[in-house]
Amino acid sequence: MSLCVNNSIDKIKHYCGIVGIHSLSERNIPQDLFFPLFSLQHRGQEGAGISYLNNGKLVTYKDLGMVSDVLGRYLEEDRKSTVGIGHVRYSTTGGNQVENVQPIQASCNKGDISIAHNGNFSNSDFLKSKLTEKGAIFGCTTDSELVLHLIAHSMQDTFYKALKETLCYLEGAFSMVMVREDNLYIMRDPMGFRPLYIGQKDGFTVCASESCALDILDITDYRSVEPGELIVVNSNGIQSEIFATAKRKAQCSFELIYFARPDSQIFDTSVYASRLQMGRVLAQQDGDEIENFDLVMSVPDSGNTAALGYAKESGLSYELGLTRNHYTGRSFILPTQKKRELAVKMKLHPVKEIVKDKRIVLVDDSLVRGTTSSIIVKLLRSAGAKEVHVRLSAPEINGPCYYGIDVPTKEELISTTKTPEEIAKHIGADSVKFLPVDKLKTCFDKSEDFCYACFNNDYPVEPKTGKDK
Ligand code: SF4
């Protein structure tokens, strides 16, 4: 069995990031799409693609690979257009095929349409079985294709009405962009699971999963797309309406803990400030125990900001005790065993002079299976660390996500079978502490507007299977 270096880092995986652009005057839209997609690379590294209007025709180009590999060609070409969308994708091993890379373009009775989607429909099995009964054929395994089928099956007399009808069938998480003729459609589900931002400057409109992707195009005047909002951008300007409302919001708390870039705004919140606060609360939780520690360090990069928050609150010094090698690449395959350990060592390495003889607080964002953490603790001990106390800015992960995040099975999640004390023993740490859900909530404004389901099993929308008829 071989192992990809980057897959060896035991992290929850995000599925996607999206971008949509419209311009009142012609410009090099494919090139404009490249930069925000590059900014969203952390949301998906296994596939990238764009669709744009070229002389009145919709053109899609996509492939497996990083944004710079797949879309770098557009930096050297000048292709005039007014509208386009783009997507970066992560896929599970079985689904890593080019057919599943987005955008997905189709010709149907409503014209040529292309769609890019971030999230997961929690009723996709149900809708797929209904459509298959009616003769629909699916060309890929992503559920985003469902939207195109539902639009094509709609009996409404305009595209806009067909789209609105379709949106009302969908449950779960969707932040989506769509292009048809010179129209950019922007949609976010009524509970607002996934982030989506929109901004404008001089007739140039950009929307993207996170604000860092707008910053790179110097769009500084932006706002969050509202839950349940449908926006149409075309040569007439911008029209917006709320197509549906929900009883509650369910913004993904894991976006703020780990997925989003720290320099982004999502859900009208600074990711950086939220993570700093999580670190502070972790330190408050440790109370007098802090006297027994010498320094704070993070597992880079995911634990950096929370570790800084811990250091600020505790007064302990913040040290860069683990060096991360950023040049391991995405597709490097290690052929033999020792593989997992070696793979982590290729990515993370301790700085001996910092960790030797020290009692360390090691801050990371979350603990999934515990495999990487046990290797990191072992590395620190080999480098002379006296004690290693692991602190996580996420609560214990207890269940799956039905809304666009790839969480391992319950059986694989270490917190479903072990207490923090047992986990500490298992990974070789002196102690392990999580940030409980009630304390995580204190880090958010309007904490009731967030989803915590993979931590507390309180699912805002129950998944509907194909048998629920
Ligand atoms: S279940 Fe977890 S990962 Fe999924 S949306 Fe809710 S908080 Fe986010």
Q: Is the CB of 405 under 6 A from ligand 1?
A: yes
Location of structure tokens 């003729």? 181
Contact of 249 with 33, CB cutoff 8 Å: no
Give dist(CA 6, CA 4) in Å, integer: 6
* φ and ψ at residue 455, rounded to 5 degrees: -95, -45
For residue 406, the CA-to-ligand 1 centroid distance in Å is: 10
DSSP H or E run through 339: helix 339-347
Contact of 105 with 111, CB cutoff 8 Å: no
| Contacts (Cβ under 8 Å, ≥6 apart) of 145 | 104, 106, 138, 139
Contact of 262 with 212, CB cutoff 8 Å: no
What is the pLDDT at residue 341? 79
Q: Is 16 a catalytic residue?
A: yes
What is the pLDDT at residue 130? 85
Q: Is the CB of 454 under 6 A from ligand 1?
A: yes
Location of structure tokens 């075309």? 234
For residue 338, the CA-to-ligand 1 centroid distance in Å is: 33
Can you read off the two tokens belonging to residue 155?
Answer: 């009996």
Angle between the N-to-C axes of helices 371-382 and 339-347, in degrees from 0 to 180, rounded to the nearest 10: 70
236 Rama sector, left if φ>0, alpha if ψ -120 to 50, beta otherwise? alpha
Specify the pairing of strand 251-252 against strand 387-392.
unpaired
Instruction: Please tell me whether residue 12 adopts helix, strand or coil conformation.
Output: coil
Annotated binding site for [4Fe-4S] cluster: 252, 401, 451, 454
Q: Ligand 1, atom 2: nearest CA belongs to which residue?
A: 454
Can you read off the two tokens belonging to residue 266?
Answer: 């999502």
Q: Is the CB of 252 under 6 A from ligand 1?
A: yes
159 Rama sector, left if φ>0, alpha if ψ -120 to 50, beta otherwise? alpha
Residue 115 pairs in a beta bridge with: 104, 178
Can you read off the two tokens belonging to residue 346?
Answer: 């290729």
Residue numbers of the chain with a pLDDT score lower than 50: 1-7, 92-94, 330-335, 337, 467-469
Quick one: which of 414, 428, 325, 307 has its CA closest to 379? 428
Contact of 71 with 50, CB cutoff 8 Å: yes
Domains and CATH numbers, the chain: 11-247 (3.60.20.10), 274-445 (3.40.50.2020)
Q: Is the CB of 88 under 6 A from ligand 1?
A: no
What is the pLDDT at residue 128? 87
DSSP-derived secondary structure letter, 259 = I
Contact of 309 with 276, CB cutoff 8 Å: yes
Kindly name the residue from 16, 207, 212, 443 that is annotated as catalytic: 16
Contact of 79 with 59, CB cutoff 8 Å: no
DSSP-derived secondary structure letter, 172 = B
Quick one: which of 349, 361, 365 has its CA closest to 397? 365
Nearest-5° angle of CA 322, CA 327, CA 328? 90
In angstroms and rounded to an integer, the radius of gyration of the C-alpha atoms of the chain is 23
DSSP-derived secondary structure letter, 65 = S
Q: Ligand 1, atom 4: nearest CA belongs to which residue?
A: 401
Sign of the torsion formed by the C-alpha atoms of 381, 383, 388 and 393: negative
